[in-house]
């Protein structure tokens, strides 16, 4: 019966690995070179513009010393983890809206197929709201707006949870949106998002698969 012990140990190890795999990854950008896009990430814009995503030092970072900052402008700038492919799971980020005349927004994207097709949830410090959209063929469509206190120059947490048609958006630990939508299905990349002239810092990006 001695052979049962190695099998049992192997079974426990397999369960641990499966649990770890389901947890996804966390990105703090602290080991990335400043002044450049972090390794393994891809940036662009839905529409037109010249976004600028760069790793920068920030003494206010939730996990210092670095953040990922978008300081350019564009219709809808995005930055996604190139090797991610989630159909169901969650994506979460800490963000700080720093400035912007037209917008001061920070968001997360998921089921990103390309720069014209994905879901996005965002919070806006100029409008004091949280909103959910789907972007299809380069056009953004509103699913829901909810009023929420979004302070400028302060760190916030935005989380999207998604499984099948179910979508739940949590801002600063409080659920704001819970609905069903089937416009975009199947696996896609996850990442971060801003709008217009928003200058926004991001840190502690997390994604989890189910």
d(CA 177, CA 188): 21
Mean pLDDT of the chain: 91
As a whole number of Å, the CA-based R_g of the chain is 18
d(CA 76, CA 101): 15
Which letter does DSSP use for residue 3 in this model?
A: T
Task: Name the pTM for this structure.
Answer: 0.89
Q: Are strands 89-99 and 129-136 parallel, antiparallel or unpaired?
A: unpaired
The answer to whether position 1 is within a domain reads no
Model confidence band, residue 210 (pLDDT cutoffs 50, 70, 90): confident
pLDDT digits (tens, 9 = 90+) for 183-200: 999 999 999 999 999 999
The answer to whether position 22 is within a domain reads no
The answer to whether position 2 is within a domain reads no
Model confidence band, residue 23 (pLDDT cutoffs 50, 70, 90): low
The answer to whether position 176 is within a domain reads yes
Model confidence band, residue 24 (pLDDT cutoffs 50, 70, 90): confident
Chain centroid to CA 181: how far? 19
The answer to whether position 4 is within a domain reads no
d(CA 156, CA 174): 11
* Secondary structure of residue 71 in the 3-state scheme: coil
The answer to whether position 171 is within a domain reads yes
Q: Is the pLDDT of residue 1 over 90?
A: no
| Structural domain boundaries, residue 154 | 27-209
The answer to whether position 16 is within a domain reads no
**CATH code assigned at 163:** 2.60.120.560
Which ranges of the chain would DSSP assign to H, the alpha helix? 4-23
The answer to whether position 47 is within a domain reads yes
Number of domains in the chain: 1
d(CA 161, CA 145): 17
* Average pLDDT estimate for 88-95: 98
3-state helix, strand, coil in the chain (%, to 5): 10, 55, 35
């Amino acid at each position: 019966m001695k052979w049962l012990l190695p099998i049992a140990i192997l079974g426990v190890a397999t369960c641990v690995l499966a649990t770890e795999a389901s947890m996804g990854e966390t990105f703090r950008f602290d080991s990335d070179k400043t002044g450049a896009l972090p390794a393994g990430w891809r940036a662009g814009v839905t529409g037109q513009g010249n976004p600028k995503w760069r790793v920068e030092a920030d003494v206010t970072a939730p996990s210092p010393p670095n953040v990922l900052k978008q300081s350019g402008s564009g219709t809808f700038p995005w930055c996604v983890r190139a090797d991610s492919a989630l159909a169901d799971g969650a994506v979460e980020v800490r963000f700080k809206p720093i400035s912007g005349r037209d917008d001061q927004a920070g968001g997360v994207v998921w089921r990103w197929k390309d720069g014209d097709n994905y879901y996005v949830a965002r919070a806006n410090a100029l409008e004091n709201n949280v909103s959910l959209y789907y972007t299809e063929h380069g056009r953004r469509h509103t699913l829901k707006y909810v009023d929420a206190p979004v302070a400028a120059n302060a760190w916030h947490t935005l989380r999207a949870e998604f499984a099948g048609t179910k979508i739940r958006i949590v801002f600063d630990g409080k659920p704001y949106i819970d609905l069903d939508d089937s416009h975009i299905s199947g696996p896609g990349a996850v990442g971060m998002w801003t709008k217009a002239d928003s200058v926004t810092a991001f840190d502690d990006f997390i994604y989890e698969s189910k």
